[in-house]
Structure 1
Amino acid sequence: MVGKKSGKALLREEGLERTDNNLDLTTWPQVNMINQKNYYTDYLKRDDQILALRLQNEDARNRMTKEARDRDRALALNGRTDPDGEIYGNDEVLPDETAASASGQEVWGSKIVVVHPGSQNLRIGLASDALPRTVPMVIARKWSSTESEDETEGPLPKRVKFSDDEHYKAEKLFGDEFAKEYGEMSQELKVHMRNNKRRVLPNSKEVIVNFNEKTEPENISEHNDPQRIDWTEIPKDPTQAPDFITGQAALRIPDNSRPKYRLFWPIRNGVFNEKDYASKNLLYQDFATIIEDAIKAQLSLKRKAEWAQYGCVFVIPDLYDRAYILQTLEMLIKDFGFGRVCFIQESLAATFGAGYSMACIVDMGAQKTSVCCVEDGMCVEESRINLKYGGRDVTDNFIRMMLFDHFHYQDIDLRRRYDYLLAEELKQKFCTMNEAEISQQLYDFHLRAPSQDTRKYLFKTYDEPLLAPMGYFRPTIFDHSQRMQGRRRLIDRSYDLYDGLPNDPMSPAQLAVIQYATGNPAFASAAAAPALEALTTTANTSTPGRQPQLNLLNRLNNESEATPRSSEAGSPAPDGTGTPQLGRAASPGAVAVQETANAQANAAAGALQQSIQQDKTLPIMPLDVAIITSITHAARGDERKFRDFLGGVMVAGGGGKIVAFKQVLEERLQIMQPAYARDILVGSPPRDLDPQVLVWKGASVFGKLSVTNDSWIGQMEYDRLGSRLLAYKCMWSW
């Protein structure tokens, strides 16, 4: 029997005896365990720990110090000092005025560039300017063929193809659907005019059709035309011809120039034009080139080295693509080298320009129309709407109606540059919404084409000038066949960094528009459906129902509830992996975790599919219905707000400059909401300000609010934090 061994012997025999002489394994200081019952951290809980906020506080302190020094200097210069050292001066001297005089009479806002890009025009200027410069948002590049020579696209307006042996009929030129829509609109107009005691001639259409068919154009030699166009001259030597031309000069390039040039429009329907570009880099390059050339030519800022002394206020849509904002910010900071940059939304800028604190802004652009309610200097996120039609569609619609009524210039093609300029001129001159002007009218226009004699056309119109802009209230008559082509072909949607879901902004009002366009409630939020139903049932009600606020998590949860739950037996694990199978022996906690993971995966897949479907759906809705939809979501059941927004509808943009458009819009809103007829008011910008420049004017006012504006992004902080700064700098939820 072996005797019992001592503990030291066991340690020595088993090799467990400690032999390190109590030396530490490392010289690094050892951190004691945190007491889980009582611990606290202030990490990222103070403003001075966030770079963006810390720089704002430092700027505020520096500004206060500078103002104090300027005040003391002003008192010393304009006052007198007594023997005791006290200063007596003129208290009416303002620090800002003194600082301006001391800095060499620099005009307030002269160091801030305001940029408002659009689908058709770019408005740019200094914040100190009274009005902006307007430059076409187009660039002409050397190309093998012009845009009018593209056989795959065909002429605009888009015609229906006929066989050679079929007899030509203008009534069939655009298909039966257009003819039906046009006939219904003409009949509705006649009924409306009779109800308003206006005279309607029974054979007006036949008279203008016969006149337009038989009238021949008159040729005018070039030396007898006092308003001939000066076309852009291109050097005959291809090596000396510029690679690109921007602005108005690009639209004046002859179609038969040598070398040939092709026009590109980087912005289409309010977003990047992915249809006409084969490369994302070329799209970004053209977008930057147009703005850069406009700054150099229109603002006389030739040297980019000086741009570091300037700030830039950039106007963005209310409903934007995050990729558009990120690319623009990088362009302004890195490529242009501006010292600081800030963004402002279109509707908010419009209220700054008009001086309104609460309004429903209807911004009617060339290819998009946006509706948004603004309250107390903030855009109501639930009310933002973006419709994909605008003034360019009215131009196209007017030309189609004239061709339908046997317009003699049947070869008009809006892809040709001189025809495009002619169509815009005809719309601006003749389109009206005043019923008193609807009669047989005789007009004329001059067709000026390069290397051709001027041709003078006589034509008659009846209801075409009024029915063309009426498409705003009946957008199905517009041509939407190529509207969504190329969407997401080059630039993918933005995804959240943590959950991988699409995070481009969306609003309940916009989802209601998508539901209206698709007619399928599965593609819209449950929060938007009651609002749309209320629009059709509140004609005789007095108080709109309260609409719940859209929540992304609620929508995902609703979608995940339709997903079948995992069975208790569990699914088999993949072959060749060590993943344990969740069977009946698995713990309830593991089953719950697996079910939660499946629900989250299904919800993410559903959200991605919903975002893809939304991109494929063209958001169109009658303008009056869209305004009521936006106001309904902005008021959220508050009758007082509902009345205030109805009384503060303001039309901005060039699309609203049609004669009597505001009166027609107000009348249609009153028909939709008869209980609030006395409260509805559609106004125009104050002080006779051009509605086309209202948004730019508001952005210039915003840029000059140097003391209260804390949304500026500087170069140093952008170099350190990049686009993460937008979460602290934007005035809306980024």
Structure 2
Amino acid sequence: MVGKKSGKAMMREEGLAKTDNGLDLSTWPQVNMINQKNYYTEYLKRDDQYLAYRTQNEDSRARHLQTARENKDRGALAQTGDMVDTTELADDINDMESGALGSQDVLGSKLVVIHVGSQNLRVGLGNDALPKTVPMVIARQWKENESEEGDGEPAPKRIKIDGEIPEKMDKWFGEDFKKEFASMSADLKTQMRNNKRRLLPNSKELVLNFNKRHEPDVITEHNDPHRIEWTEIPSKQPPEYITGEAALRIPEGSKPRYKLFWPIRNGCFNEVDYANKNLLYNDFTTILEESINNLLGLSHRKDWAQYSCVFIIPDLYERTYVQTVLSILIRDLGFGRVCFQQESLSATFGAGYSISCIVDIGHQKTSICCVDEGLCAEDSRINMKYGGADVTETFVRMMLHDQFPYRDINLRRRYDFLLAEELKRKFCTMQEQDITVHGWEFHLRAFGQDTRKYEFRTYDEVMLAPLGFFRPTIFDHTKKLECRRKLIDRSYDLYDGSPNDPLSPAQATVIQFAAEKYSNMTENGTQSTTETSAAAAVTSTPSRQAHFSLLSRLNEVENTPRSSIAGSPAPEGTPQQAGASSAVDATNDATDAGKIFFDPTLEKIRAAEERDKTLPVMPLDMAIIASITQGARGDERKMRDFFGGIMLIGGGGAMPGFGTVLEDRLRALKPGFQKEILIGPPPRELDPQVVVWKGGSVFGKLSPNGNDSWITMKEYDTLGHRLLVHKCMFPW
């Protein structure tokens, strides 16, 4: 009988005993635990740990080495001068000097400056005195043109009563427009009487009677010396698209049809006329590419990598817009380096101002910003959605109200749109001495028709239309928020999922003013907020904790308690609007009071959605005061400097006497700054429309190698949009 074996014997015989053979259990390196009481890291705490900083130092080191080699070669050549022919030595030295001068010339000739607007694109090289201007439009083959789309009614739209358009032209645009027009006319008469201006009692009747009776004169084409050269469309292989001035001269009835697309609308991407985001970006890229090819003569795309690009963006930008433009400039167009500059800062570079308040009135937007010592005051940035296009449309409405003889004018038609812009430039004024019964004439030229000569008279319409900048209720704002966020969602923070587009306290003041004003008008049917009380609210000294108060109104309406709908943020570039709306729905359904607490991310999303529902519109004089008040932050000396350096730029305000009227209105709102308030055009007789581009050109040539705001193609391929945090000269 075998005795019972012990456990150790069993382990040894069965091979289950634990033995140490000196082999590691894994090939992965074993890291010891960190001492939680005393540990330290230098991760991202030194400048040399950033790729952007290291790349800049490497470029600087390479330039210094190249300079040292050139100096060494020059010294060696000079020491051996007695052994070589003096003429050869002189030729070599001249070649070196010419090479050095050539490298300096490259700083301007290898720089492309781009300023994109809602109507025009201005592009040029850094060594150009003035930019090339081209319409920011592209015509594509379409089933119908823009004037044939929809119901085909002319723009501005006419009000239908009982399904029909009224026969009387003074009722075409509704009673609200008629009352507002009459109120503005009465206010202007009162102001002119106070200024001792002579008024004829029957001026309006003279205009109406003359315009009613006038019939146009027909001029045959061979007798018209200023006939228009229309764009010819070849019958065989018509082009897929046409850009620039040629697109505006395509006949309406062309075969095939062409439709005009404007990629920029109200200062941002146009989401109304496009059904596809990729087509929108493609049109934007095509217009830039065609303009650079045709206007600058850079026809070889492979050479564009040697060029740098300064792209000018709005002061109050949208992150998605900047990121998309950066991708287009580097990936699609292939520029070697790209730099972004804000509009107001570029204007001060172009004008040579160190401190100023820039008022930029464009075609479809108006921006205001205070600039102090090379930086835009973040709190003072304002972006309002009206401009010169609203003045053009309002001027046409007022003339039609006063029996304008060309009753079939339609701003959707290309030649009518160009005609309306020409009439505004010629006849609109802000000088009271010009307000009298004037007789004018214009020629209507349409493809396939004889030229028609019209004569008409105007009275106060020429001043009341631009006065809409100070009374924006006369403008038509009904479709400006149409299709907002339909294609392009707002930018969200990568970590907490909250909207992170910049918002200044001055812009919040504008939105608050617009929300209260239009809500009162909707409820009462009339304007219940007076300019005096609104101006008092605007001119009050701001506090550091100024917040957007639409959210408080939202909280007052909604008494349903909120619960947290926390979740991991979505990846960058994914739409989050659906998630935000589902979070709002879940919040409304929350009933468990024990789990209720405040969710800051959800509140930011709700506030951003509420802001998108409000059109930022405010009288121009009040908006300037709001911007300067926020920019000065209670410093009276700085406020006086801003009031004394107001610069009016852009094409929307290019009317005689506009600056004088704006000065008078600012002095009426700020009587304590009577002597300081001064508004002037850009110095050195610069065109107000190109001063922003000129500033971008000046900035691009200031220390182009040592400027740390350039984004190179190599850096973008490595880090992408994250580079903007380190490269932008403004807070990103």
Structure 1 and Structure 2 fold alike (TM over 0.5): yes
Establish whether residue 382 from structure 1 lines up as the match of residue 368 from structure 2: no
Q: Name whichever of 471-480 and 162-171 sits farther off.
A: 162-171
Distance in 1 (alpha carbons) for counterparts of 2:682 and 2:24: 78
Match of 2:482 among 455, 473, 485: 485
| Structure 1 unaligned residues grouped into runs of 5+ | 1-5, 84-94, 523-531, 568-593
Measured in 2, the distance between the counterparts of 1:445 and 1:75 equals: 71
Question: In 2 relative to 1, CA 660–284 (structure 1 residues): closer, same or farther, beyond 3 Å?
Answer: same
Counterparts of 1:457-606 in structure 2, within 5 Å, are 457-519=454-516, 536-537=535-536, 545-549=541-545, 599=597, 602-606=599-603
Counterpart of 2:709 in structure 1 is 711
CA distance, structure 1, for counterparts of residue 563 and residue 136 of structure 2 = 55
Alpha-carbon offset, residue 609 of structure 1: 1.4
**Quick check: 1:275–1:485 contact (8 Å CA) kept in 2?**
yes
Tell me which amino acid in the other structure corresponds to 1:58: E
**What is the CA distance between 1:47 and its match in structure 2?**
1.7
Distance 2:350 2:594 in 1: 50
Residue of structure 2 equivalent to 1:356 = 353
> Structure 2 CA distance, aligned partners of 1:669 and 1:67?
55
User: How far is 1:152 from its partner?
Assistant: 3.6
Distance 1:98 1:656 in 2: 48
Matches within 5 A, 1:682-693: 682-693=679-690
Deviation at 1:119, TM superposition (A): 0.5
Query: Alpha-carbon deviations, 1:569-594, whole Å to 9, x = none?
Result: xxxxxxxxxxxxxxxxxxxxxxxxx9
Q: Is the 8 A contact 1:159 1:174 kept in 2?
A: yes
The SS at the match of 1:449 is coil
Partner of 1:202: 201
Distance of aligned partners of 1:597 and 1:418 in 2 relative to their CA distance in 1, 3 Å threshold:
farther
**Once structures 1 and 2 are overlaid, which stretch shifts more, 638-647 or 22-31?**
22-31
Q: Is the 8 A contact 2:184 2:464 kept in 1?
A: yes
1:407 aligns with 2:404: yes
User: 1:701 matched to which residue of 2?
Assistant: 698
State how 1:169-184 maps to structure 2 within 5 Å.
169-184=168-183
Q: State whether residues 136 and 287 of structure 2, in contact with CA within 8 Å, keep that contact through their aligned partners in structure 1.
A: yes
- Residue 718 of structure 2 corresponds to residue 720 of structure 1: yes
Q: CA deviation at 1:35?
A: 2.3
Could you report, residue by residue, the CA deviation over 1:426-463 in whole angstroms, capped at 9, with x for unpaired residues? Answer: 00001110111111111100000000000001111111
Task: Tell me the equivalent position of 1:185.
Answer: 184
Q: Which residue of 1 aligns with 2:155?
A: 156
Whole-Å separation in 1 of the counterparts to 2:51 and 2:532: 47
Output the aligned Cα RMSD. 3.4
Letter of the 1:185 partner, please give it. Answer: M
CA distance in 2, matches of 1:153, 1:272: 25
CA deviation after TM superposition for structure 1 residue 9, in Å: 10
1:652 equivalent in structure 2: 649
Equivalent-residue separation in structure 2 for 1:107 and 1:696 (angstroms):
19
Q: Residue 148 and residue 167 in structure 1: after superposition, are their counterparts in 2 closer, same or farther (change >3 A)?
A: closer
Determine what percentage of the aligned residue pairs are the same residue. 60
Give me the whole-angstrom Cα distance separating, in 2, the residues matched to 1:686 and 1:100: 35
Give me the whole-angstrom Cα distance separating, in 2, the residues matched to 1:75 and 1:205. 84
Equivalent residues of 1:432, 1:659 under 8 A apart: yes
CA contact (8 A) 1:110 1:127 kept: yes
Aligned residues of 1:74 and 1:98 also touching (Cα < 8 A): no
Residues of 2 paired with 1:261 and 1:255: CA distance? Answer: 8
Query: Is 1:438–1:466's contact at 8 Å kept on the other side of the alignment?
Result: yes
The match for 1:216 is 215
Alignment map for 1:46-445 (pairs within 5 Å)? 46-69=46-69, 98=97, 101=100, 103=102, 106=105, 108-152=107-151, 154-163=153-162, 168-237=167-236, 240-445=237-442
Give the Cα–Cα distance (whole angstroms) in 2 for the partners of residues 150 and 242 of structure 1.
22
- 1:155-211 CA-to-partner distances (Å, cap 9, x unmatched) read 111111245888611221111111111111111111111111110111100011000
Q: Distance in 1 between matches of 2:264 and 2:166?
A: 40
Amino acid at match of 2:190: V
| Structure 2 residue 678 is the aligned partner of structure 1 residue 681 | yes
Deviations 1:592-646 (A, max 9, x none): xx9999645x322221111111112111000001101111111111111111111
C-alpha distance in 1, partners of 2:376/2:97? Answer: 36
Distance 2:629 2:12 in 1: 85
Give the AA of the match of 1:548.
Answer: R
| C-alpha distance 538-492 of structure 1, shift in aligned 2 (>3 A) | closer
- Secondary structure class of the residue paired with 1:687: coil
| Structure 1 contact 160–175 (Cα < 8 Å) conserved | yes
- Aligned equivalents of 1:551, 1:75: Cα separation in 2: 65
Deviation string 1:259-290 (CA, Å, 9 cap, x unpaired) is 11111111110111111111111111111111
Alpha-carbon contact 2:160-2:166 (below 8 Å) kept: no
Residue 109 of structure 2 aligns to a residue whose secondary structure is coil
Q: Secondary structure at the match of 2:114?
A: strand
Distance 1:727 1:107, change over 3 A: closer
Answer whether contact 2:118 2:264 (CA < 8 A) is retained. yes
- The answer (yes or no) to whether the contact 2:320–2:491 under 8 Å persists in 1 is yes
Structure 1 residue identity aligned to 2:33: M
**Structure 1, 558-567 or 196-205: larger mean CA deviation:** 558-567
TM-score (norm 2): 0.86
Q: Decide which moves more: 162-171 or 204-213.
A: 162-171
C-alpha distance in 2, partners of 1:380/1:171? 46
Question: SS in structure 2 opposite 1:509?
Answer: helix
> What is the rounded CA distance, in whole Å, between the counterparts of 2:415 and 2:153 in structure 1?
17
| CA separation of 1:67 and 1:563: change in aligned 2, threshold 3 A | farther
Shift in CA distance, 465/68, structure 1 to aligned 2, threshold 3 Å: farther
User: Contact 2:217/2:454 (CA < 8 Å) preserved in 1?
Assistant: yes
Give the aligned partner of residue 586 of structure 2: none
Which residue number corresponds to residue 89 of structure 2? Answer: none
> How far apart are 1:379 and its partner, in Å?
1.0
What CA distance in whole angstroms lies between the structure 2 residues aligned with 1:114 and 1:36? 53
Shift in CA distance, 75/628, structure 1 to aligned 2, threshold 3 Å: farther
1:81-121 deviations in Å (ceiling 9; x for gaps): 999xxxxxxxxxxx9x9475453784541001111111000
Kept in 2, the 8 Å contact 1:446–1:454? The answer is: yes
Residue deviations 1:309-345, cap 9 Å, x none? 1111111111122111111111111111111111111
In the alignment of these two chains, the number of paired residues is 675
Query: Can you list the C-alpha shifts for 1:328-383, whole angstroms capped at 9, x where unaligned?
Result: 11111111111111111111111111111111111111000001111111111111
| Structure 1 residue 42, shift from structure 2 partner | 1.2
Q: 1:330 to 1:9 in 2, by over 3 A?
A: same
Other structure's SS at 2:271 match: coil
Q: Secondary structure at the match of 1:64?
A: helix
Alignment map for 1:609-620 (pairs within 5 Å):
609-620=606-617
**Deviation of residue 44 (structure 1)?**
1.5
- Indicate conservation of the 8 Å contact 1:100/1:107, yes or no: no
**What is the SS of the residue equivalent to 2:455?**
strand
For residues 520 and 441 of structure 1, the distance between their equivalents in structure 2, rounded to whole angstroms, comes to 36
For 2:476 and 2:234, locate their aligned partners in 1 and report how far apart those are by CA, in whole Å: 38
CA distance in 1, matches of 2:128, 2:43: 45
Q: Whole-Å Cα distance in 2 between the matches of residues 432 and 334 of structure 1? A: 46
Instruction: Give secondary structure in 1 for the equivalent of 2:390.
Output: helix
Displacement of 1:24 after TM fit? 3.7
- For the 8 Å contact 2:231–2:249, the answer to whether it is kept is yes
Distance in 1 (CA, whole Å) between partners of 2:502 and 2:475 is 27
Counterpart residue type for residue 114 of structure 2: V
- Work out whether residues 508 and 547 of structure 2, in 8 Å CA contact, stay in contact via their aligned partners in 1: no
Q: 1:674: Cα distance to partner?
A: 0.4
